[in-house]
Amino acid sequence: MIAIASDHAGIGLKAQIVRTLAGLGHEVEDLGPTDATSVDYPDYAHLLARAVSDGRIERGILICGTGIGMSMAANRHPGVRAAVCHDAFTAEMARRHNDANVLCLGARVVGSGVAEQIARVFVSTPFDGDRHARRVAKIEWEVS
Ligand code: RB5
């Protein structure tokens, strides 16, 4: 199960990514918004990140203008590893080395074809584990 959410800047790309992933046989839960009315991206980032942090969904995709604000908000949640990806390579590495469980896309940064490719790589690439598992575990350490 993959959840997806956006702000107003990402709503068009969100619909496209939902269609792409559904076409590949994935079950996609759209957490909103449902129209292009201006909204605050943290509201949707927290909604989706909470579900990932609770274990209710395995992976999520967040889309705003740049992907940056969404990633900042999502990464406040324990267990959430949100990565802004700009191409297939960063998406592949985010999965293989960082075990990213939330993909953040910038609808004003990447074209629709590249965004589709990034999403496909994100949902199909496994985590490499091994030494990367040790490093990913250290991400959760308390910072004080
Ligand atoms: C909205 O204008 C824009 O700030 C938002 O989509 C996002 O890019 C924030 O990081």
Give me the pLDDT at residue 32, please: 98
Q: Which residue's CA lies nearest to atom 10 of ligand 1?
A: 69
The identity of residue 86, as a single letter, is H
Separation of 129 CA from ligand 1 center, angstroms? 33
- Tell the burial category of 123 from Cβ atoms under 10 Å away from its Cβ (0-12, 13-18, 19+): buried
Separation of 66 CA from ligand 1 center, angstroms? 6
Structure-token match 């250290």, residue found: 138
**Is residue 91 pLDDT above 70, yes or no?**
yes
Give SS3 for 31: coil
Mean pLDDT of the chain: 97
Q: Which residue's CA lies nearest to atom 8 of ligand 1?
A: 65
Residues 99-110, mean pLDDT to the nearest whole number: 98
- Continuous segment of H or E residues that includes residue 49: helix 41-53
**Cα 96 from Cα 135, distance rounded (Å):** 12
- Ligand 1 contact, 64 CB (< 6 A): yes
Which CATH superfamily hosts domain 2-137?
Sugar-phosphate isomerase, RpiB/LacA/LacB (3.40.1400.10)
Closest ligand 1 atom to residue 106 Cα is 8
Per-residue model confidence as pLDDT tens digits over 4-16: 999 999 999 999 9
Give percent above pLDDT 90 in the chain: 96
- Continuous segment of H or E residues that includes residue 68: helix 68-74
Against a cut of 0.95, is the pTM above it?
Answer: yes
How many CA atoms lie less than 13 Å away from 75 in the CB half-sphere?
15
- Ligand 1 contact, 7 CB (< 6 A): yes
- pLDDT tier at 57, thresholds 50, 70, 90: very high
